[in-house]
């Protein structure tokens, strides 16, 4: 497994793979890998010939007071896991490589970036789209593999890839969950066992919302009220939002007529957690 630290090195590796007729599948990460990331690497191996993963904790997507400094890191373990999953190359640029002195350009997808998590995490998605654009330029993959847990991120990146005519096909993979339903996230590391057990209510609430939609409830207000009541039983959980939105436009839905994303964000002490499900009325 190759370790590549420079964008130019990454590009020449990709060019040489492409010359050999290999299809490159790329999984961008911020490291501290868990089963969710590994499922993305497995998908990459399945659909591509050459798997590339990046590890870069992107300072630009963290706001002031967020957890950039304490974001969990485990480089040695990550590399061991990536190798075990058959990854061919890991791109590990430093901050100076991604944001050299004097660079100024930002990539923004307005609208989609301002709703849901974008309301409280100002500038977060500009950080995400800017770094993903830079990573795509370096890796030049055939496939870009993302997780559905970060559904807003996936929708925004799909839009950016389309608008900027990147050649990569975006592949969005299912959320991987612990036994009790808690979505896997590197930030679960911040939770105690007790907090983890409390946090499972988030998926129970999403499942309740999904059930209500399936059983014919059309009012988003009623569904959200039921979910909030359930989450409200847990003092340790500070709910930031529950929203029901259109899967592509991310516009808030009031009356449910077709597929909808039910998404939420909550703070459980030091951890800000997000999760979502796709809800479908029975036809």
Q: In the window 121-140, what residues touch ligand PAF (CB under 6 A)?
A: 128, 131-132
Q: How far is the CB of 212 from ligand PAF (least distance, A)?
A: 29
* Contact status, residue 79 vs residue 1, Cβ threshold 8 Å: yes
**97 counts as binding ligand PAF under rule CB under 6 A:** no
The one among 150, 195, 198, 275 contacting ligand PAF by CB under 6 A: 150
Q: How far lies 1's CA from each of 82, 84, 124, 127, in Å? A: 9, 10, 31, 28
Q: What count of residues does the chain have?
A: 283
Q: How many C-beta neighbours within 10 Å does residue 267 have? A: 13
Q: In the window 185-244, what residues touch ligand PAF (CB under 6 A)?
A: none
* Contact status, residue 268 vs residue 199, Cβ threshold 8 Å: yes
Q: How far is the CB of 101 from ligand PAF (least distance, A)?
A: 21
The one among 58, 113, 152, 243 contacting ligand PAF by CB under 6 A: 58
Helix (H) / strand (E) element for 40: namely helix 35-47
**48 counts as binding ligand PAF under rule CB under 6 A:** no
The one among 30, 109, 139, 144 contacting ligand PAF by CB under 6 A: 30
**52 counts as binding ligand PAF under rule CB under 6 A:** no
Q: What number of CA atoms fall less than 13 Å from residue 13's CA on the CB side?
A: 24
Contacts with ligand PAF by CB under 6 A lie at 28-30, 58, 61, 128, 131-132, 150, 153
């Amino acid at each position: 497994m190759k370790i590549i630290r420079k964008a130019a090195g990454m590009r020449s590796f990709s060019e040489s793979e492409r010359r050999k007729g290999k299809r490159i599948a790329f999984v961008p990460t911020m490291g501290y890998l868990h089963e969710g990331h590994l499922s993305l690497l497995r998908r990459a191996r399945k659909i591509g010939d050459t798997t590339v993963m990046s590890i870069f904790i992107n300072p630009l997507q963290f706001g002031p007071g967020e957890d950039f400094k304490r974001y969990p890191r485990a480089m040695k373990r990550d590399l061991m896991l990536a190798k075990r999953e058959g990854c061919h190359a890991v791109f590990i640029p430093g901050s100076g490589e991604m944001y050299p002195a004097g660079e100024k350009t930002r990539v923004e997808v307005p609208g989609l970036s301002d709703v849901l998590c974008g309301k409280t995490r100002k500038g977060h998605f500009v950080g995400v789209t800017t770094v993903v654009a830079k990573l795509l330029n370096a890796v030049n993959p055939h496939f870009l593999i993302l997780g559905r847990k970060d559904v807003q991120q996936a929708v925004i990146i799909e839009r950016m890839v389309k608008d900027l005519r990147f050649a990569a096909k975006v592949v969005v993979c299912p959320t991987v969950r612990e036994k009790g339903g808690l979505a896997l996230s590197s930030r679960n590391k911040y939770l105690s066992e007790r907090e983890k057990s409390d946090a499972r209510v988030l998926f129970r609430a999403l499942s309740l919302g999904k059930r209500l939609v399936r059983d014919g409830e059309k009012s988003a207000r009623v569904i959200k009220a039921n979910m909030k009541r359930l989450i409200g039983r847990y003092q340790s959980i500070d709910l930031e939002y529950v929203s029901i939105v259109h899967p592509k436009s991310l516009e808030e839905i009031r009356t449910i007529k077709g597929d909808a994303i039910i998404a939420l964000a909550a703070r459980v002490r030091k951890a800000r957690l997000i999760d979502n499900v796709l809800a479908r009325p029975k036809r």
